[in-house]
Structure 1
């Protein structure tokens, strides 16, 4: 068969649902298995949504999302997202408006003291660990969620201020966001995406929780003076038209919802970090010793990041083996394109299988094994292999704009926590494995777990 008529390989789908039943709840796992049969680029029949393309190798992912970014940087807006209101969001916009929205976001983040915000939140989190250390088994899983939500609200529409965890306004806003998150358990697999008429039949709860959150944010927006002198959060950025970037102030509402939702990936990463470190006592001991040797009793700061390579390697390894973004949000081609010998039509949905890249034996030795040392060289220093099949924050124009902030926050959490505490498995509550991860809201997250908080004494 000539290259001009080369047909994309892939599993044969059924007449109505295509391959949806075979994909199952963990598409990233299924796609990784299928890539072993069909190769690094293959077709998947999504039934009513038509054919899509899955990229499961670093080279094809790079060629698509970087070398051919203009063609592959489109966004397939899921029907349920469109019906819920996708306008004004970074995740679903394309072209010039997406670039403009990104500039606004980055301009706001530059004006906020994110390091101070993160540092204050981490210190409060450690205080909460101390307070709850005798309450075993601890719901550390939920504590991480509370802490992350406090930060997300602070830099979106809470004027850069964190709240006490029992603050009534904070609890209300967190509950509203939790309701939306629960309603979006598996965005891609929602029945409305395949049968749009169900929006008016079976999605009343979905509509209600979104309307309640939008109403809460709109109340805050209505209470603010549009003549903003100092930008303190994302909402202020819209009102002040930061750096001359002009969007209607009401656009801040879906943007805030989207941004808080995206921040849940950071929470998920920290939950995986503490889980995997607890499951590997030798890793926990090494991190504790390294943090103590570098920071002693001083508050850990970003200036010391190069001095704790093993801790940094553990963060990287967690993002590899249990990446929250196991599959990238679906891209869409913006033109007909000849790619790797295949004709791909304009408007084709394209998935990048990050899980497959991070578990590819071509790049990783024993990829199913949690091993932070793989990121260290023979001298114990960080080996910079970010460009080789390691893409926890995506690639190309759609790369996560919060990458640098997320890395800083994870570093501050891990160094500050293990400077003062450790964790142990609780009898009768076995800790889950990476394979037990679930897909929730498009993220690969660990199921809830409990641990015992163990305070360190005298640096031991």
Structure 2
């Protein structure tokens, strides 16, 4: 019996020493990193990422094996994937400035002249000034402003006129034209008519950029592959050249007509900021803004076009697709419009508070089909942590918004399209039922155009649904709800039958 007690005591001592050794290692080396996918030299975790599914869907599936936050290697780059809202909000809010960096890639450098824009530009004093100037200019047309409401309503009227003229219509180019004209009015104080060659060129280059940027192409993982022929990279360069030619034309026109006494649009506001910087007028601007160049201005406007047009247009296309799939939702919105707005006038921004079901539907579209399911990657600017995990400086962090918005622990039946989840128990007030809802991101890198996008979505959809009942043409199948992954999650092309509602047939093409 004595030998057994001695053996137990010896085992306890050895166990204590082992625990102490492990604790000392933790103290010496710091907290461990997130669980990591298998990685090989040079290629990293690419073999583990082979899948028929789009990246956002694959990343959601991988958390079943590796947990909600894990890491992988993209070539030589360490990437942390965040699939749940607690860590996502640490990245975006609690440690927003630490994670405010952006990765440099071959394709985004081509798109932004080496990061001289806002969306892909790295966090710096110049970037902060840049963003401040654009935010201030957008506030001129901010939420509640009659000028931006008038611009959007003008385009909504034009869109409805086109819809009333065709039995079966591909809405994609018409929605793009309407949203493009809103952005053109903001940036250039101008707009495009249907069939305008410049507008057609813009459509072409925009689609080319969407098809080639931010798809984790091999040239972004292994930059040395640039030395070989690359069709996607060549297409991107051609589309960017067309875009830059159009932007340069507008820029030169504005410089020739510029006046210190008039601020017509965003480009005027940017020119004023640059001239102040060039003149070292430090009483008006911060000294770090002296680095603001022509390239910064052009890339900022290009950013606003790229982000402001493609994202809002894509959400509108998803909204129409889901309304066609769910006619009962469409009918309830129309009943709400008939009750609160009626047929004697057009919907206005001031009606938003009295149309909760329409607002809830917009929120549900943004949830179930987030326009940028992986957001834009962040970069840790210093050594930090994420929950219990260590994150080293230079680590890239991907917020999988798709996982957040389809988290079974946060959302009941997340694959079900249900606007009612954003309404209170009485069905008259709006709620955010989960902290996992982040359609525009958050924090330092939150989407600059959030307020504008919400205004456009509300006005375009309310105008359309007040006048038309949307359905699929008799010879067409229902729109696909799968989506094509790229810079944005695009729906497949589909046609719409827009049937004028009772009382609106006689008002075709007439102003409201």
The alignment's TM-score, normalised by the length of structure 1, stands at: 0.92
The separation in 2 between residues aligned to 1:277 and 1:306, in whole angstroms, is 21
The separation in 2 between residues aligned to 1:382 and 1:315, in whole angstroms, is 14
Residues 1:163 and 2:195 aligned together: no
| Structure 2, unaligned runs of 5 or more | 1-21, 142-146, 277-283, 506-512
The separation in 2 between residues aligned to 1:148 and 1:14, in whole angstroms, is 45
- Alignment counterpart, residue 114 of structure 1, candidates 142, 145, 148: 148
- Alignment counterpart, residue 241 of structure 1, candidates 265, 270, 273: 273
- Per-residue CA deviation, residues 182-221 of structure 1 (Å, 9 max, x unaligned), is 443xx23222212323335323332222122212211222
- Alignment counterpart, residue 495 of structure 2, candidates 441, 450, 456: 450
324-333 or 248-257: which moved more?
248-257
Once the 2 structures are TM-superposed, how far is the Cα of residue 359 of structure 1 from its aligned partner? 0.5
Residues 1:64 and 2:68 aligned together: no
- Alignment counterpart, residue 338 of structure 1, candidates 359, 380, 385: 385
Residues 1:92 and 2:123 aligned together: no
SS of the equivalent of 1:74 reads coil
SS of the equivalent of 1:443 reads coil
- Alignment counterpart, residue 109 of structure 2, candidates 82, 105, 125: 82
Structure 1 residues 172-251: aligned runs within 5 Å: 172-184=201-213, 187-200=214-227, 201-202=229-230, 203-224=233-254, 225=256, 226-241=258-273, 244=284, 247-251=292-296
- Per-residue CA deviation, residues 22-45 of structure 1 (Å, 9 max, x unaligned), is 255611111111122222211022
The separation in 2 between residues aligned to 1:188 and 1:237, in whole angstroms, is 33
Contact 2:43 2:76 in 1 (8 A): no
347-356 or 425-434: which moved more?
425-434
SS of the equivalent of 2:316 reads helix
- Alignment counterpart, residue 73 of structure 1, candidates 94, 100, 122: 100
How many residue pairs end up in the alignment?
A: 450
SS of the equivalent of 1:327 reads coil
Residues 1:437 and 2:483 aligned together: yes
Partner of residue 35, structure 1: 63
- Alignment counterpart, residue 51 of structure 1, candidates 53, 62, 78: 78
Partner of residue 17, structure 1: 43
The separation in 2 between residues aligned to 1:53 and 1:123, in whole angstroms, is 46
SS of the equivalent of 2:98 reads helix
The separation in 2 between residues aligned to 1:430 and 1:17, in whole angstroms, is 42
Partner of residue 426, structure 2: 379
Partner of residue 406, structure 1: 453
315-324 or 37-46: which moved more?
37-46
Change (3 A) 1:233 1:179: farther
Change (3 A) 1:141 1:32: same
- Per-residue CA deviation, residues 410-434 of structure 1 (Å, 9 max, x unaligned), is 0001111000001112344322443
Partner of residue 13, structure 2: none
Once the 2 structures are TM-superposed, how far is the Cα of residue 347 of structure 1 from its aligned partner? 0.4
Residues 1:280 and 2:326 aligned together: yes
RMSD (Å) for aligned C-alpha atoms: 2.2
Contact 2:379 2:397 in 1 (8 A): yes
Change (3 A) 1:205 1:423: same
Once the 2 structures are TM-superposed, how far is the Cα of residue 14 of structure 1 from its aligned partner? 4.1
Once the 2 structures are TM-superposed, how far is the Cα of residue 174 of structure 1 from its aligned partner? 3.5
Once the 2 structures are TM-superposed, how far is the Cα of residue 146 of structure 1 from its aligned partner? 2.2
231-240 or 26-35: which moved more?
231-240
| Structure 1, unaligned runs of 5 or more | none
Once the 2 structures are TM-superposed, how far is the Cα of residue 348 of structure 1 from its aligned partner? 0.3
- Alignment counterpart, residue 354 of structure 2, candidates 301, 304, 307: 307
Whose Rg is larger? Answer: 2
The separation in 2 between residues aligned to 1:428 and 1:45, in whole angstroms, is 47
The separation in 1 between residues aligned to 2:502 and 2:128, in whole angstroms, is 50
Once the 2 structures are TM-superposed, how far is the Cα of residue 9 of structure 1 from its aligned partner? 0.9
Change (3 A) 1:182 1:359: closer
The separation in 1 between residues aligned to 2:33 and 2:135, in whole angstroms, is 41
The separation in 1 between residues aligned to 2:361 and 2:460, in whole angstroms, is 13
The separation in 2 between residues aligned to 1:303 and 1:118, in whole angstroms, is 14
299-308 or 448-457: which moved more?
448-457
- Alignment counterpart, residue 145 of structure 1, candidates 159, 176, 188: 176
Partner of residue 19, structure 2: none
- Alignment counterpart, residue 270 of structure 1, candidates 316, 319, 328: 316
Contact 1:86 1:92 in 2 (8 A): no
Runs of 4+ in structure 1 over 6 Å off: none
The separation in 1 between residues aligned to 2:430 and 2:66, in whole angstroms, is 32
Change (3 A) 1:431 1:15: farther
The alignment's TM-score, normalised by the length of structure 2, stands at: 0.83
Change (3 A) 1:45 1:176: closer
